[in-house]
Amino acid sequence: MQRDVSVRRVLRWKGAWAAAAAGIVLVAACSTQSGEFFSGTWWQMPPVVEPGPVGGPPSDAVVLFDGKDMSQWNHAEKWVVKDGYVQSGGNDIQSKQSFGDCQLHVEWASPERVSGSGQGRGNSGVFMMGMYEIQVLDSYQNETYADGAVAAVYKQHPPLVNPSRKPGEWQTYDILWETPRFDAKGTLLKPACVTVLMNGVVVQNHFNPLGPTSWDQKPKYTPQPDKGPIGLQYHGNPVRFRNIWIRPIKELTSKPGRDPHNH
């Protein structure tokens, strides 16, 4: 008798759960049948961009160096152009145009013949807004301090990994940059943000620089323009560059709207 009661209780328990499960399924079915979800936001349609060949440039890019001349750069008289690349020499250079939020593509190669060690081997740099350095260095089997290695945000954050190719081989940087924001009084509202891919590998992931990079000064933010030039460094080593292009990044416009498909 006791066993029969227990069995009935188990059956009632299972039945209750089965009914509940059925109810859940029914509710879920009703929710999917209630209509398409709309976010309540009307978005501008994304503009069409032709991606171009592998490595770019895309159709909306500003080409800073196409392998022919350095007309887009200031103070580049000592940088030698030949065979589709430019070799650093004499001094640092900066782009004539200034940029804010952007995507920057740079291809570079350290000397094939290894000379020196540490920071003295294939040293250069890519400067965002002329003041935030992404280190260029021959870090292939070359030890140095971590936050001075290839693809480091110089003296602030080392690369997550070291995907260096051999000396003399072409390396690729793809840099996503967000400028720091300040209010009208010069108070920092939002620090800069940088993501870097080296040879297709993420080496900086949404890192917030502590301020402009420096070899001998602690970084700090001071009010600055919302745009600045791209800089390339000459550090005494003949580093080569090619296929340099940049895309200003602009957010799509949006507004409240009942149907985001209604344009």
Any idea which residue has 């069995």 for tokens?
7
Q: What percentage of the chain carries pLDDT values higher than 70? A: 85
Mean pLDDT of the chain: 89
pLDDT at 34: 63
pLDDT digit string, tens, across residues 225-263: 999 999 999 999 999 999 999 999 999 999 997 655 655
For the CA atoms of 124, 63, 157, 147, the dihedral, rounded to the nearest 10 degrees, stands at -10
What superfamily would CATH give domain 62-248?
Answer: Exo-inulinase; domain 1 (2.60.120.560)
Residue 5 has pLDDT above 50, yes or no: no
Residue-wise burial string across 66-86, b where 16 or more C-beta atoms lie within 10 A, e elsewhere: eeeebebbeebeebebeeebb
Strand partners, 217: none
pLDDT at 12 over 90: no
Give me the pLDDT at residue 36, please: 83
**Res 262: pLDDT:** 52
- Which pLDDT tens digit goes with each residue over 183-220? 999 999 999 999 999 999 999 999 999 999 999 999 99
pLDDT at 76 over 80: yes
pLDDT at 39 (0 to 100) = 85
Asked, as a colleague might, if the bond just before 158 is cis with ω within 30 of 0, I would say no
